[in-house]
Amino acid sequence: MEVKTNINWFPGHMQKAKREMKEKTSLVNIVYMVLDSRIPKSSFNHLVKEIASNRPILLLLNKADLADKIETKKWMDYYKSQGYYCLDIDAITGYNMNKIVPLTYEILKDKIERNKERGIKLSMKAMITGIPNVGKSTIINALVKKKITQVGDKPGVTKTQQWVKLDSNLDLLDTPGVLWPKLEENGMNLALTGAIKDDIMPIDEIVKYGFDFMNTYYKEAFYERYKIDKIDSIYDIYEKIAKARGCKIDDYEKINNIFLHDLRHEKLGRVTVDRLTSV
Ligand code: G4P
C-alpha cells in the first residue's frame, strides 16, 4: 500500500520560492546578495548564481561592524578572485552604504552605454537577496531612507511588488528575495552568529562549539572578558563566566545565553566565524 506523507511539501515549497525569485530576477539587471560578514561562506547561497543567470552579482558583506576586519578583507579578495563584485557595509551606521549606487553604475556601465547608443531610456533595476536576518530590510530602508519595509519581516509574507528609486537611473525592488541557508553544511556557524534560531540546534553544542572557536581564534578577548587563566575542562569556562557575570555556577542555561549574547553583540570583540581555510 502506498502511504502518502507530506514529506514532499518542503521541496515543493522551495521550488515555488525558487520560481518566484527567478521571475523577479528576470526583471532586473543586477542582483545584490547580502552576506553576513561574520559568516561569508555560510550565508552565501549558490542558488543565486543559477537564478541570476548571467546578470552580475554584487555581494554586500553586511554587519561588517561585527566582523574581524582582516578576515573580511580576505573574504572580499577571495570572492573577487571568483568573479564577484564585493562591498563591505554596515547598514546601521551607514558605513559604505553610499558606495552601493556608484558601484552599481560602474558594474553596469557597458549596459548603460549600449542603451544610450540605441536611444533606450530605461532605468537600471536591482534586487536584494539573502538569507533571513542578514539585514536585507535594514539595507533597503537605509537605501531609500524611509521605513518602507518592516525590519524583522518574516519570509513568505506577500506584499505588492513595487519599485523604489535609489537614484535618477536606478530602481530597486522593494521586496527582498529570501534564500535559505544550507543547514547541513553550515549549521554550527549559522547558529553561533544567531543567523538561525537557537532552538534549531542543541544549545549546549552551539555553546561548546563557540568556546572552542573562541579559544582557537580569539583567545585573548575570550580570556580577558571572563578572567580565564587556563582551561582544563569545559567546566572551567562555565565557572569563570559565572564568576565574571555574577550568576550561579550550575545555571548552565543562563551562562549559555550570556556567552552567546556576548559573542553576537561584539562583547568578545569583532569575530569572523567562517574562516577562509574552510572553503
Ligand atoms: P532581514 O530583512 O534580512 O531578515 O534582516 P533585518 O533587516 O530584519 O535585520 C536583522 C537584524 O540585523 C536586525 O536586528 C538589524 O537591526 C540587524 N542588522 C542589520 N544590518 C546590520 C548591520 O550592518 N550591523 C549590525 N550590527 N546589525 C545589523 P534585530 O531585529 O535587533 O535582530 P538581532 O540583532 O537581535 O538579530
Give a yes or no: residue 2 inside a domain: no
Q: How many angstroms separate the alpha carbon of residue 91 from the centre of ligand 1?
A: 9
The total of structural domains in the chain comes to: 2
Question: DSSP states of 165-226 as a string?
Answer: EEETTEEEESSPEE----HHHHHHHHHHHTSS-TTSS-HHHHHHHHHHHHHHH-HHHHHHHH
Q: What is the pLDDT of residue 5?
A: 39
Q: Which of 147, 151, 172 to mutate to test the pocket of ligand 1 (most atoms within 8 A of CB)?
A: 151
Domain membership flag for residue 192: no
> Do residues 93 and 215 share a domain?
no
Residue 233 in domain: yes
pLDDT at 16: 83
Hunting for cell 530602508 — which residue is that? 141
Per-residue model confidence (pLDDT) at position 157: 47
Are 99 and 37 in a shared domain?
Answer: yes
Report the nearest atom of ligand 1 relative to the CA of 34.
Answer: 3
Question: Per the domain annotation, does 79 fall within a domain?
Answer: yes
Q: How far apart are CA 141 and CA 91, in angstroms?
A: 9
Q: What are phi and psi of 265, to 5 degrees?
A: -120, 35
Is ligand 1 within 6 A of the CB of residue 138? yes
- Write the pLDDT tens digit of every residue in 72-124: 999 999 999 999 999 999 999 999 999 999 999 999 999 999 999 999 989 99
Report which of 274, 278, 277 is spatially closest to residue 39, judged by C-alpha positions: 274
Closest residue CA from atom 6 of ligand 1: 135
Neighbours of 78 (CB within 10 A): 15
What mean pLDDT is predicted for residues 44-52?
A: 92
SS3 62: strand
Cα 142 to Cα 95, 106, 171, distances in angstroms? 11, 21, 14
Helix (H, G, I), strand (E, B) or coil at 6: coil
Q: How far apart are CA 259 and CA 147, in angstroms?
A: 32
| The pLDDT value given to residue 136 | 96
Residue nearest atom 10 in ligand 1 by C-alpha distance: 133
User: Cell numbers at residue 265, please?
Assistant: 553583540
- How far apart CA 111 and CA 89 sit, in angstroms, is 25
Contact 252, 238 (CB under 8 A): yes
Domain at 68, CATH number: 3.40.50.300
In this prediction the pTM is: 0.90
Pairing of strands 177-178, 57-62: unpaired
Atom index in ligand 1 nearest the CA of residue 90 equals 23
CA distances from 137 to 98, 106, 277 (A): 16, 24, 31
220-250 confidence digits (pLDDT tens): 999 999 999 999 999 999 999 999 999 999 9
Report the mean per-residue pLDDT for the chain.
Answer: 89
Same domain, 30 and 150: yes
Our answer on whether the CB atom of 239 is closer than 6 Å to any ligand 1 atom is no
159 and 227, same domain (yes or no): no
Q: Is 63's C-beta closer than 6 angstroms to any atom of ligand 1?
A: yes
R_g over Cα of the chain: 21
Residue 117 lies inside a defined structural domain of this protein: yes
Does one domain contain both 28 and 71?
A: yes
* 277 alpha carbon – ligand 1 mean position (Å): 27
Residue 193 lies in a domain: no
Per-residue pLDDT at 152 exceeds 80: no
Ligand 1 pocket test: which of 138, 143, 153 has the largest number of ligand atoms within 8 Å of its C-beta?
Answer: 138
Please check whether residues 36 and 143 belong to one and the same domain.
Answer: yes
Asked if the structure places residue 98 within a domain, the reply is: yes
Q: Is the CB of 136 under 6 A from ligand 1?
A: yes
CATH code, domain carrying 236: 1.10.1580.10
Output the DSSP codes for 21-41.
HHHHHTT-SEEEEEEETT-TT
3-state SS, 105-152, equals HHHCHHHHHHHHHCCCCCCEEEEEEECCCCCHHHHHHHHHCCCCCCCC
Which residue is closest in CA terms to ligand 1's atom 27?
Answer: 63
| Choice between 155 and 185, residue whose per-residue pLDDT is larger | 185
Does 36 reside within a domain? yes
Q: Is the pLDDT of residue 7 over 50?
A: no
Q: Give me the domain span that covers residue 137.
A: 12-174
